[in-house]
Amino acid sequence: MTTASSTQGTPRAPQAVGSPSSPVTAGNPQPLKRIWNAARLNLINKWTVYWIPLMILTFIWLINMLIWWIIAANTTGSDRQDALDGTQWSGASFYIFVYMLVIGVGAMNMTFAYALGLSLTRREFYLGSTLAFLLLSVSYGVILTLLSYVEEWTNGWGFGGHMFTSVYFGTGELWQRLFVFTVAMMFFAFIGTVSGAIFMRWRTNGLLVASAISIILIVGAVALVTLTQTWHLVGEWFVASGPQGVVAWLLVPTVLSALAGYFILSRATPRG
């Protein structure tokens, strides 16, 4: 992320992130420009944020194609249809969402200290990172939406399979697909952000406490639904809400995680 070269034997000073015309320097009076430079810190490595996750997603897609081909080659009639209908419950594309969580964690733990070293403030770094995650979520939302249409137009890539049109994402209108994919990406990105911020401030002990609280809340919710025998109402809510309604509710923990991440990181001490 920095470059160094020499001219006539004299080492040149490391260059800040960004083009030579827009360095991140102390005393820059343009706050929006500094926030944008902070966003670029999280996007500058295209291999990490785009090419590697897309290459792995392509590999998963090829494996699924192979599985669908095996099913098509060894079954006939209703048996084949039943087997391929089962792919509607495929979670093969979930990897890309988990990867967004990893990007959020990495930004807080690997880029935070470097950003402060470039004289960015905690506020500028966090706002820039938030902007970067929103851009990444939208761009991945567009890519996955296009893939869902291709999957639909080709009848499941020629085999009737489902990877981007599973029941979790639905096959609604364009805005509905884009909304589901983008918001789901944002959810995982900011869960990763607050996790990384917790680690940066309280290290491993903080993560252990946060994990314990999360598990207690989840188990408590499961116990409440089980003891009140209302699982059927939960199922009816999922069916009535559909993918768009369920994902819309994810905006609540997404916003809370984004706000919590900011306040936690604002008091964190950069290390490493």
Specify the pLDDT at position 240. 94
- What pTM does this model have? 0.86
Specify the pLDDT at position 16. 46
Q: What is the pLDDT of residues 32-53, one digit of tens each?
A: 999 999 999 999 999 999 999 9
Specify the pLDDT at position 272. 57
Of 60, 62, 132, the C-alpha closest to 94 is 60
Specify the pLDDT at position 83. 87
d(CA 244, CA 138): 16
Specify the pLDDT at position 36. 94
Contacts for 156 with CB less than 8 Å, ≥ 6 apart = 68, 84, 87, 162, 165
Q: What is the mean pLDDT of the chain?
A: 88
Specify the pLDDT at position 77. 85
State how far the alpha carbon of 168 is from the alpha carbons of 89, 162, 248, in Å: 7, 11, 13
Of 43, 4, 58, 84, the C-alpha closest to 189 is 43
Q: What is the mean pLDDT of each run of 10 residues along the chain (272 residues)?
A: 42 44 52 92 92 95 95 88 89 93 92 90 95 97 97 94 93 94 97 95 94 96 96 94 94 97 91 62
Q: Tell me the percentage of the chain whose pLDDT exceeds 90.
A: 75
Q: What is the pLDDT of residues 116-165, one digit of tens each?
A: 989 999 999 999 999 999 999 999 999 999 999 999 999 999 999 999 99
Per-residue three-class SS string for the chain: CCCCCEECCEECCCCCCCCCCCCCCCCCCCHHHHHHHHHHHHHCCHHHHHHHHHHHHHHHHHHHHHHHHHHHHHCCHHHHHHHHHHHHHCCCCHHHHHHHHHHHHHHHHHHHHHHHHCCCCHHHHHHHHHHHHHHHHHHHHHHHHHHHHHHHHCCHHHHHCCCCCCCCCCCCCHHHHHHHHHHHHHHHHHHHHHHHHHHHHHHHHHHHHHHHHHHHHHHHHHHHHHHCCCHHHHHHHHHHHHHHHHHHHCHHHHHHHHHHHHHHHCCCCCCC
